[in-house]
Chains A and B, each alone.
Chain A
Amino acid sequence: MTFTDTLLLAFRNLRQSRLRTSLTTLGVAIGIASLAGMVSLGVGLQEQVVGRLTQSGVFDSITVTSGRANIPGMGGMGLGRVAGRGGRGGRGNATPAPPAAPLDDAAVARFAALSHVRDAYPTLRIPMSYTFDGRTNAALAAGIPESSRGEGAFQTITHGAFFPDATSPSLMLSLDMAQQLNADAPGSLVGQTLELSYADSASNAAGTPEFVAGVQVTRVSRPFTIVGIVERDPAPGASLGLSAIMIPLEQARAINARAIANPQAFLQGAAPQTRRYTAVTVRVTSAANTQDVQDQIKAMGFTAFSLNDALQGAKRAFLLLDILLALVGSVALAVSSLGIVNTMVMSILERTREIGIMKAIGGSDRDVRGIFLVEAATIGLIGGVAGIVLGWGVGRLINIGANIYIERQGGTAGDLFSLPWWLILGAMVFALLVSLVAGSFPARRAARLDPIQALRHE
């Protein structure tokens, strides 16, 4: 018998017991819907979490520090994980590790020359004080490179705009900071001037000379124009410290070049032009390249760290969640597979005589088995398609409800359920496999029926 004829007979059998077929198919649909819905929820949640993190630029940036275990200066603050990495490098001292390379402008240029690197710049956090409305407070000013324009935290600027150019004395404030300065209308700060004071190692006519640890330090004050206010933390990864004030990287470089930010380097007599940085940020073109670039930088003798490791961990955790959700969803499918077995056994009982006739006129075991397997597979396939549609629909409804709740709680609405093509395909294949397994026992029973007894069956 040809496969087309098997289909023909199977479909005609299914048509003849329409009610039973549809009920069984509905059972499979509910099973698949619950399975696909659960996995879809897991995938959706993962995309929500990982997607937001990826968008924030956390995973395409690498923080490079010098190979030495102890990082002096301000770069050390909050860099616990980096220090931990350094500690590991320190342990590596027992076996000769690559010599610590100086983290200077030459190193930055080498990082920038690596393939898949979009930008490399020193991570500068400069201690400053600012004066506004006659009050003076301390803050860290972060140097923000031009390459950050329109990216990550700067995709949306709450008030105002990004720096007009790479060098102008302009600044952006975090929304928190802006609210501290003007709680009622932080937006009105845009266009105003903020006086920033910082330490300068050379004497300046405008500054007041002081002595710090026997070194002449001048306090310099300069007006900066507030151009923008940013809501999100612009320094992804809290380990780098929150930056209340952001100034163009070139401004930060110039200030840093003259500051005593690294007393150790200063005491070693390093000239300002070979000044070493405590940390350098390397941005790669996509998160997929992070690991590769990170390894290359490590090979140069630096300590490199990215949140990519954490992302891998998060992905593993989500995989576990997916498996757990899939197991819960499978319970309904297991029940519906029993429904298939039941339907097929009933169908065989009803059609025993017909099976006898088919065998008497030359139908082989394989022909009979094929008919019943195709019947089960058809129930599985239609149930699979209906289940995907059902699962998608229910997911949409839950999503709408959940988003109303989330927005009422002040959160950002998003898709809690995600239905990627592999899930659709996988659910269909799974539905087919489950129905084939469920149908194989009844089909085998039908195939082995004794024709004489089957013909006597009423």
Chain B
Amino acid sequence: MNLHEYQAKELLARYGIPVPPGRVAYTADEAKAIASEYGDTVVIKAQVHTGGRGKAGGVKLAKTPEEAREKASQILGLNIRGFVTKKVLVGKAVDIAKEYYAGLILDRVTQRVVLMLSKEGGVDIEEVAAERPQAILKYPINPATGLRPFEARELVKQAGLEGNLGKLAGVLVQLYQAYVGVDASTAEINPLVVTAQGEVVAADAKIVLDDNALYRHPDLSRLREAEAEHPLEVEASNYGFAYVKLEGSVGIIGNGAGLVMYTLDLVNRSGGKPANFLDIGGGAKADVVYNAIKVVCKDPDVKGIFINIFGGITRADEVAKGVIQAMNDGILTKPVAMRVAGTAEEEAKKLLEGKPVYMYPSSIEAAKAIVEMVNGGGR
């Protein structure tokens, strides 16, 4: 789960990392009020769940409260990569002497959390990584000990960061404590600023939370914003499916993430475009399949549905029952190509006999057929 910059900064502040004073405004007048309270130059930043805010005009400086009102009204409502800006962070501008980068990510190769540190902050770190990988220092942290102050001091020196050594190292130690404390999967400070007065502050921050660990952070899971996701993704997640909205017109339902991914690939190979990824999971009963069909059929882009089931723990006849129920209730209104194999395959086929469902013996044939139906304008 992605957090907004202001939420990330609040969390970092809880762990002792200095952040510039700032508050969220939902209207231009609120932005003006905050700016006049600070009585100083402010930065107004769009709070949207996407990158590239600066380039899209979502970050502006304002020297007076009136200017803050103006700039905020330009940013509020701005569409940044498909996300409409509904709130802005109005923060005191910092007097930048140096801009660095500090980030923690999960590294699958070392199977550890890796600290990345660079003198080249304030820019897109992925570009730095691609062009000058040597400009980023990487340090896998031992999970048994965490990041200790002496390690952090050595790393600050090694990366060539200039400024108060104790303060810089302290931020790194606190960043790791925050990462573990909130169960993040990414925690970045970019830029990590050394001010003209010698203070070290997190001028921007990004935190992504580990979805698997949200259950132990009820205060953080409340920060999830339904509007930041596709409404069908929210509905599917309430039903407990893994669902991802995609661009195409073939609705996909399958069991097991691997099989569903493979099904998307087959539809693509057959010249079609999947409308979604939907995994009903292991051991699904008829009602789960029914709800899956409900979600997929609500998507106006869907012209036909491919249901691909390999029965293991999931029984194919349960899937068939869900399909039939959805037909009887008038929910399933689009053409369906289906392929079932494995546990209770014969029972499923018997149940579906005479029903308006196109059955195919293999995934490949079913994929070709549904793509033909959808591309040919349906049947």
A and B are partners in one complex rather than unrelated chains:
no
